[in-house]
């Protein structure tokens, strides 16, 4: 089954590509079935039986990925899942998130793949919200990185947005980030910065520095976004002073949730947090079948 026009519109409104989501859903289901059938479901469920099931939060958190879970169900043969909450909503244990009605066998086929994606994306959104809450009122924003699960980048970065974070570049092609290995290859941080500006004049360029001296150099050379790598709170305060508003600053490296506010209060514009996508715990969500009459 292909995705309905209504679900495709919901995905597009969320900034997601329906064709990519459908392809992911098909791949997930194909992996789960491995060319065969759900032997347990076929053996225990009569052909043609219909059921209604609810996606239910088993823990408090922020939900993200309901339309993605619905896409898995549609591909499995269960269209028309009804959301009870919106992505980005804070939910508590026991909340019903979405309800689906359809062939029981197809619900069982789509159950695990839909939950895997919904739980993971909601986990990313929930962790992001914790970081966002930690820096509230400072003016700093929480940003993700490219430390994403291969094939899931667009979805994970969507989940970051649902948690209140903001996205860094989506790919290697939409923005430049001059890091230590580029500096070595180019023979210095200034030559590396100049080379990117010359070759791709319309592309945003961020430069990573690990000292205040390098910061001053790249700001004076015209960098408008600088990544401050593994600097102490004291160094970050000095970096903000030296920059004087001439460039936006992003703290990165060694950041933890318990020191997030102290870093944000230095005056940096962003905190880059790879853990949002590479270390987010899954939000516990279950699919509960309603009792049959």
- Can you state the angle between helices 18-33 and 104-134, rounded to 10 degrees? 120
Q: What is the pLDDT of residues 45-54, one digit of tens each?
A: 999 999 999 9
Catalytic residue among 84, 179, 197, 261: 179
Q: What is the pLDDT of residues 199-229, one digit of tens each?
A: 999 999 999 999 999 999 999 999 999 999 9
Give dist(CA 157, CA 125) in Å, integer: 9
* Coarse DSSP helix, strand, coil percentages of the chain, rounded to the nearest 5 percent: 45, 20, 35
93 belongs to the catalytic site: no
Active-site residue flag, 157: no
Please state the pTM of the whole predicted model: 0.96
**179 labelled catalytic:** yes
- pLDDT at residue 100 is higher than 70: yes
Q: Which of 96, 112, 153, 261 is catalytic?
A: 112
Inform me whether the pLDDT recorded for 293 exceeds 80.
Answer: no
**Domains of the chain, with CATH numbers?**
5-126+281-289 (3.90.1170.20), 133-278 (3.20.20.70)
For residue 1, pLDDT over 90 is answered with no
Name the catalytic one among 208, 214, 250, 269: 208
pLDDT of residue 179: 95
Annotation says 214 is catalytic? no
As a whole number, mean pLDDT of residues 62-90 equals 98
Verify whether residue 147 is a known catalytic residue.
yes
Q: What is the mean pLDDT of residues 260-265?
A: 98
């Amino acid at each position: 089954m292909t995705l309905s026009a209504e679900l495709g519109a919901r995905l597009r409104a969320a900034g997601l590509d329906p064709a990519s989501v459908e392809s992911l859903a098909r791949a997930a289901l194909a992996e789960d079935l491995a060319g065969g059938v759900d032997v347990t479901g076929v053996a225990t469920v009569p052909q043609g039986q219909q059921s209604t099931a609810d996606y239910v939060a088993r823990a408090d958190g922020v939900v993200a990925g309901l339309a993605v879970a619905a896409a898995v169900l549609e591909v499995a043969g269960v269209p028309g899942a009804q959301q009870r909450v919106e992505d980005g909503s804070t939910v508590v244990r026991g909340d019903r998130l979405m309800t689906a009605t359809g062939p029981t066998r197809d619900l069982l086929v789509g159950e695990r793949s839909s939950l895997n994606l919904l739980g993971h994306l909601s986990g990313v959104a929930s962790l992001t919200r914790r970081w966002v809450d930690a820096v509230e009122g400072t003016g700093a924003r929480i940003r993700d990185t490219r430390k994403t699960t291969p094939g899931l980048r667009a979805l994970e970065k969507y989940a970051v947005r649902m948690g209140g974070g903001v996205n860094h570049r989506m790919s290697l092609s939409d923005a430049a980030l001059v890091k230590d290995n580029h500096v070595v290859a180019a023979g210095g941080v200034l030559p590396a910065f100049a080379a990117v500006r010359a070759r791709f004049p319309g592309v945003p360029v961020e430069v990573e520095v690990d000292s205040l001296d390098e910061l001053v150099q790249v700001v004076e050379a015209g960098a408008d976004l600088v990544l401050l790598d593994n600097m102490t709170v004291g160094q970050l305060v000095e970096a903000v002073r030296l920059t004087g508003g001439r460039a936006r600053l992003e703290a990165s490296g060694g950041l933890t949730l318990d020191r997030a506010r102290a870093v944000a209060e230095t005056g940096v514009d962003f905190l880059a947090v790879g853990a949002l996508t590479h270390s987010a715990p899954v939000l516990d969500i279950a699919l509960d079948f309603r009792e049959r009459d």
